[in-house]
Amino acid sequence: MFVEDLRSPKILEIARRITQEYKLCNHCLGRIFARIGHGMTNYDRGKIIREALSQEEVPIKDCELCNGMFSEENLMRYAKMIIEKTQEIEFYSFLIGSRFDSEVLMKEEEILNKAGSMYAESIKMEFNRELGKLVSKLTGKKGKVKRPDLTIIVDTRFDYLEIIIAPVYIYGRYKKLVRGIPQSKWLCPYCGGVGCEKCNYRGTLYETSVQELIGDVALELFKGEGHRLHAMGREDIDARMLGNGRPFVLEIIRPKRRSVDLKALEKKINARANGKIEVRLIKYATYDDVLRIKSYNPRKRYRAVVVFEKFVPEEDLIKALETLNGAEIKQWTPLRVLHRRGNLLRRRKIYEARLIEYKGHEAIIELYTDGGTYIKELVSGDMGRTTPNLSDLLGVQANVKELDVIEVDWRD
């Protein structure tokens, strides 16, 4: 519809009927017909209709719907509140939301039921837009509907602001160079993370974790309130992660800074880790990258030091590994993790199994497998829960002494 349609008999009759019953400012009158006409504000619409009806304007402060909410003074007051509350937060985009008293919303519904809501928009929508335009003008920041840096909720009932800071996401890869470090922070089961005698008052089962070694340093620079590590799978605590590293996305919760030099952060993390881990920070990421990281289970290459209960001839070992080459294995959930995971049957493929070094009672083997393959159980058999397995093929019990992940098959 065009501007002329605001002066059509149908529209003017609706407007006449409503203005006879309610005292509405131009904003609230024009909002009833918000979908008519382009390139104008609801105030402009209300003014055009009012002039067509030869009516005097209702002062904004006397409007019985918004009660002066759209006055320049009121919008400026809220804009200054926002600027003051966000002055220590680095952001480039924002979205305004609002909460109104139920009486205002009920009155709006009552008016629209009588006028018809075919062309209308809500009071919240107009308020959010008009305040957003003013904040953008005053700060130079950009209003953004999808994934803004800040979401600012204005509670008009109590003149209160709620500031929701979007997380910062960083994509990278980590290597875990030592054994005995978990990937994520393990809270003490006895105290729930508060700190007790059992955990030496740390609140965690282990002195540190990959998550803490990366996240704690990042938290300082981004001035955040917490962190999460979203990794593409996880290695055992007693395994190393070598080679090209494991892909991960670090999430910084409620950061007051958003633009940190990733190379400088990378250097600081590696220096602070003191040889425990090594990270490569590749780029800033989004939540979509988290979803990709968590949904994909790539093939992996492992190197394992295997020990045998008795001497195994080299040719027997080579033959057993050749049997595993290209084999599909069936694995029930390992006994060692059955207390925290469901008892499920998994089918995995072994693409490559080869001997690297042979020592009679001990050997180093390399395996390239589907993601999610339990390597320790592929070697030991896990009391028959993994078939085929190296121990059965040799006729000798074999166990993994040391395990390293040396490749995660994933393109950055």
Query: Mind telling me the catalytic residues?
Result: 236
Of residues 242, 132, 235, 117, the one with CA closest to residue 180: 235
CB 191 within 8 A of CB 183: no
Is the alpha carbon torsion for 306, 312, 314, 320 positive or negative?
negative
The Cα–Cα gap between 142 and 146 comes to: 12
Axis crossing angle, helix 9-21 with helix 42-52, rounded to the nearest 10: 90
DSSP string, 226-287: EEEEEESS---TTSEEEEEEEEEEEEEES-S-----HHHHHHHHHHHHTTSEEEEEEEEE-H
330, amino acid identity: K
CB 373 within 8 A of CB 382: no
The Cα–Cα gap between 215 and 223 comes to: 11
How many CA atoms are closer than 13 Å to the CA of 359, on its beta-carbon side? Answer: 11
Residue with tokens 């974790």: 209
385, amino acid identity: R
In the DSSP assignment, the letter for residue 116 is -
Q: Which residues contact 1 (CB under 8 A, 6 or more apart)?
A: 35, 36, 37
